[in-house]
Chains A and B, each alone.
Chain A
Amino acid sequence: MSQDEYRGDMLPGQADFRLPEPPPVQRVNGRRPIPEKPPTVETDADVWDQRVADTLAFLRRRLAGQYEVDEFGFDPELVDTFFHPLLKILYRDWFRTEVFGIENVPSDGSGLVVGNHSGTIALDALMLTVALRDKHPNERHLRLLGADLVFRMPVMSELARAVGATVACNPDAERLMNSGHLVGVFPEGFKGIGKKFSDRYKLQRFGRGGFVSAALRTGTPIVPVAIVGAEEIYPILADLKPLARLLGVPYFPVTPTFPWLGPLGLVPLPSKWLIEFCPPIPTAHLTEYADDPLVVYNLADQVRETIQATLHELLEKRPDPFGP
């Protein structure tokens, strides 16, 4: 390595210093050049150097405010470098999530992903987000629609906005779909995540089907998704309604571990997760029926039936909720 291959601003000690790449290995007369390049041991050290440099650069950008946030408060840099790696540990190692039918999710342009909701806290929404980012060929971000209660709570509201969620209302949903985003919605809402363990995998009522009219108005295909596994992470044995009313929350869950074990009760049980995306339902030809309650109701029902049927299929694939 000659001296002039180093540029002046690339000296060791500078933040953007990189070791120059070794020259590619060339075959000489059909034989490997001698001596053969030994497996490099010192690259291990460089990986750490790179990681430290990347982390410091990330911290500097955060502290200086040098990042972009979209009009909904979505912060892609924070999500990709901080939230997703953390959630992915839960997704891959804790829940051993398997994903089916990812080809049913539009490769680009808008889509409305409609799922079943369960699991006491909305971990299924986050896992769905990770699954799409992880498994989709275009690594799509899912923009969740959340209940206004989420946005009422300090800290929680800002976390939700940072990961790309917004209030579930038609103007926001249509705005996201019109700008070609993949939108995620759980029409069961709190009825879904707050149901008792004995009602597991029974879809609750789908509200007024507002999600269908938003999809119809923007001609966005609806992708039903069935999520199996979230029901077992915090099985709700009882709901302390008076306490819930006192705290102003929709339900107060009693699980085998919560509140008995205190903070330890917040650790989700390691159930096996299966996520299946069903074939998309096109809506582009139904745009003028967005305000027709019968069309909206029938479509919502079709989505609901599809999810319920797929849930049963997935449950047969997974006889043991805590299996491998």
Chain B
Amino acid sequence: MTAAPSVVVVTGVSRYIGARVAARLAADPRIDRVVGLDPHDPPVGLLGLLDGVERIRADARAATEAIVDLGAEAVVHLAITSVPDAQQGRAAMKEQNVIGTMQVLAAAQGTSTLRKLVVRSSTAAYGASFRDPAVFTEDTEPRAVPRGSFARDILDIEGYVRGFRRRRPEVAATVLRFAPMISSSAETSLTRYFSQPVVPTVLGRDARLQFVHVEDALEVLHRSVIEDHPGTFNVAGSGILMLSQAVRRAGRISLPVPEPALSTGAALLRHFGVEQIGLDQIDLFVHGRVVDTTRLIDEFGFTPRTTLAAFEDFIQAHAEGSTLTADRLAAAENAILDGIRKVRATS
């Protein structure tokens, strides 16, 4: 095992995961210098995290020079968004995901000191098809080009990393395909979705879902910077939750909508900038997505908490707004049972 890199560049520190990773790496005494790159200033809520992190506010083009000038030994590329921003839209998202990755990787390739590259990817890389196997291993190829914009970006991003690996084979490149992240505090489009009192689902479909707890995702990212784990890894909690089961566990009420209506409705909502449910989410809810994490557990010696445990943590923090809670159901069960007993006793 090689020593921990002394200079680490983290992209996307204006967002929750980027800021958390940068803060975690800055707190690690084995790392001398952590530099956060982002074209935007982090929101006030995240500024506290970034005390020990040098921040460079630069767009991807300027950032490339920074990576070379700093003599970065490790680059952690987290500036990847899964949902278009309400104001800037899809064009900005693609610019950031695809063009941003291209430029970061180009800079990384030109940095002679670089030893490590860690890229955040997603299990969306497996696409969504009816002929898919139930469980994806890292070697599964997507059967068709996905229709979701995020999934297409992910395929492009992984394509660039493959190119990078060919050109700089001595750099340990780690691609982490994360299942949707969830925790008590993180806010993503999926946590917003499960926080609604009434949750729209696809009629006649019940997806198999997996989540990864944010803290476990951070641990895996941290280990891939400190240790050497070249390759592609699925990062998810073992076990699954059916979408309907997850909605019920969260005490919400599901509203099954036919798929075409849901797509149209989501497009309308997107148009008005209300909620960001894209084709990515709809594909996820139609096909579900389950991955095999054997490779991660063997290589990292770390087992993320289960999907059930991660989701339980989320439910605890989002109890308000739920209607059908387990306690209320148990009370109703007792009341009905008592009622039946009384009726039968009198008759």
Contact string, B130-142, partner A, CB cutoff 8 A, digits 1/0? 1111110100100
Q: Which residue on B lies nearest to A14, using beta carbons? A: B334
Query: A12, A52, A73: which has the most chain B beta carbons within 10 Å?
Result: A73
Q: B336 to A56, Cβ gap below 8 A? A: yes
Q: Tell me if B248 is interfacial: C-beta within 8 Å of chain A.
A: yes
Asked if A255 CB lies within 8 Å of chain B CBs, one says no
Residues of chain A within 8 A (CB-CB) of B290 are: 71
What's the tally of chain B residues with a CB closer than 8 Å to chain A? Answer: 41
* Known A71-B208, A158-B204, A158-B206: A49·B133 in contact at CB below 8 Å: no
Size band of the A side of the interface? 35 or more
Chain B residues with CB under 8 Å of A155's CB are 204
Report the stretch among A2-10, A60-68, A120-128 that lies at the interface.
A60-68
Cβ B337 vs Cβ A71 within 8 A: no
Q: Are B248 and A167 in contact (CB under 8 A)?
A: no
Contacting A154 at CB < 8 Å: which of B204, B241, B325, B334?
Answer: B204
Q: Which of A130-138, A169-177, A195-203 contacts B (4 or more CB under 8 A)?
A: A169-177
Contacts of B334 in A (CB 8 A): 13-15
Chain A residue nearest to B324 in the complex (CB): A63
Residues of A within 8 A of B329 (CB): 60, 63-64
Alpha-carbon distance A52/B239, docked complex (angstroms): 31
Of B135, B204, B332, which is within 8 A of A172 by CB? B135
In the complex, are the beta carbons of A65 and B133 less than 8 A apart?
no
Q: Is B341 an interface residue (CB 8 A)?
A: yes
Q: Which of B202-226 contact A (CB under 8 A)?
A: 202-206, 208
* In contact, A69 and B208 (Cβ under 8 angstroms): yes
- CB distance B248 to A63 under 8 Å? yes
* B330/A60 in contact, CB under 8 A: yes
Q: Give the CA-CA distance A14 to B341 in the complex, in Å.
A: 10
Using A69-B242, A71-B240 as known contacts, say yes or no to A152 and B333 having CB atoms under 8 A apart.
no
B134 contacts A12, C-beta separation under 8 Å: no
- Cβ-based interface call for A237 (8 A): no
* Chain B residues engaging chain A, CB cutoff 8 angstroms: 130-135, 137, 140, 202-206, 208, 239-242, 244-249, 259, 288, 290, 324-326, 329-330, 332-334, 336-338, 340-341, 344
The 9 A-B residue pairs with the shortest CB-CB distance in the complex, in nearest-first order = A154-B204, A65-B248, A65-B249, A171-B133, A155-B204, A65-B245, A60-B333, A64-B326, A152-B130
Interface residues of A, Cβ cutoff 8 Å to B: 12-15, 45, 49, 52-53, 56-57, 59-60, 62-73, 75, 148, 151-152, 154-155, 157-158, 161, 166-167, 169, 171-172, 175
